[in-house]
Amino acid sequence: MIVVLRIGHRIDRDKRITTHVALVARAFGAKKIFITTKDAKIEENIRSICKRFGGDFQIETGVKPKKIIQSWNGIIVHLSMYGDELEKSIKKIDTNDDILIIVGAEKVPYYFYEAADFNVSIGNQPHSEVAALPLFLDRYTKGIWSRKKFDGKIEIIPSNKGKKVISK
Amino acid sequence: MIVVLRIGHRIDRDKRITTHVALVARAFGAKKIFITTKDAKIEENIRSICKRFGGDFQIETGVKPKKIIQSWNGIIVHLSMYGDELEKSIKKIDTNDDILIIVGAEKVPYYFYEAADFNVSIGNQPHSEVAALPLFLDRYTKGIWSRKKFDGKIEIIPSNKGKKVISK
């Protein structure tokens, strides 16, 4: 099971970035996202998308990150531009275990670097947690996102021109 | 040459998302980003990062998208959840040509679907342009981002624990 833990979410500043992190988690194979700050609006948005587009993705906000980490039975990965190389790290991570993936907002407290079994970088340049997460999940799941079925009420049919949408 | 065209940027609502799009463009191998809305602040932010972290990435805001598209000599790709499958599309795109990659904000006018040689989806689920762009560039450049050198004043050394930073 893949679970994402989003820390340091500031409701006003990060609302769109955190929403994108949650959507990426869902689309790239995670089962659940925990967000440390309570945010009813983001819960509502994500649940509304799940209702329409399918899948059993879950969201819970207002959680205590240390509690989640301490009770986690599995591997903990923290995505960071300071972390070790992706390809090198991926080889060491046992994909049979459950995995908790921590993604920060601004400055991440040192505790999380220590708590993680693996601090992993998607390149060592500044970019985005919204980019780091799908690249990590792409490699970790060997691209399973591209074959995943969501069985939603809305289904989009890939098309080179126009929009092909099936509404059930 | 890889160039990104960000359309529909709304200064207030999209500033962080568009900044992340620009940083992703730079980190994953694009040479330049055009942003249709004039935004001096975002230009300043991105140039400041280039100064510190290196590379010759360029940013230009307040451009007319149709003018850019009409004068483009090369392939035009539009990333969209309605587009054709990534792996299928990538096989058809000649990587010897220059490529202009269009990423939209909210609703993208039909013009851009028509103007693109390829409308490409990174999965057909709702997620994020900040996620679609690096996945596309990863496949298009065959992962060149992981070996790219930026020769900046600040260099981060990959590390599983702590932060290893060289300042020149």
pLDDT computed for residue B135 by the predictor:
98
H or E stretch including B63? Answer: none
Q: How far apart are CA B95 and CA B29, in angstroms?
A: 13
As a whole number of Å, the CA-based R_g of chain A is 16
Region of poorest pLDDT, from A40-44, A159-163, B11-15:
B11-15
Q: Which residues of chain B have pLDDT under 50?
A: none
A13 with B16: Cβ contact below 8 A:
yes
Q: Which of B18, B70, B21 is nearest to B39 (CA)?
A: B18
Q: Are residues B164 and A82, on separate chains, in Cβ contact within 8 Å?
A: yes
Q: CA separation (Å) from B149 to A49, A111, B51, B54?
A: 39, 30, 14, 9
Question: Are residues B156 and A82, on separate chains, in Cβ contact within 8 Å?
Answer: yes
Q: What is the pLDDT of residue A106?
A: 78
Judge whether residue A21 has pLDDT over 90. yes
Chain A within 8 Å of B134 (Cβ-Cβ)?
A: yes
Report the predicted TM-score, pTM, of the whole model to 2 decimal places: 0.97
Buried-state track B78-113, b at ≥16 Cβ within 10 A, e below 16:
bbbbbbbbbeebbeebeeeeebbbbbbbeebeeebb
Interface touch B127/A155, C-beta < 8 Å: no
Structural contact between residues A164 and B142, judged by C-beta atoms closer than 8 angstroms: no
Q: What's the pLDDT tens digit per position in B100-122?
A: 999 998 789 999 999 999 999 99
Please tell me which residue of chain A has the smallest CA distance to B118.
A160
Residue of chain A whose alpha carbon sits nearest to that of B155: A124
Closest CA to B90 of B30, B138, B28: B138
CB spacing of A138 vs B133 below 8 angstroms:
no
Encoding tokens for residue B136? 């596309």
Residue in B86, B125, B156 closest to A150 by CB? B125
Query: Which residue of chain B is at minimal alpha-carbon distance from A79?
Result: B160
- Interface confidence, given as ipTM, is 0.96
Average pLDDT, chain B: 96
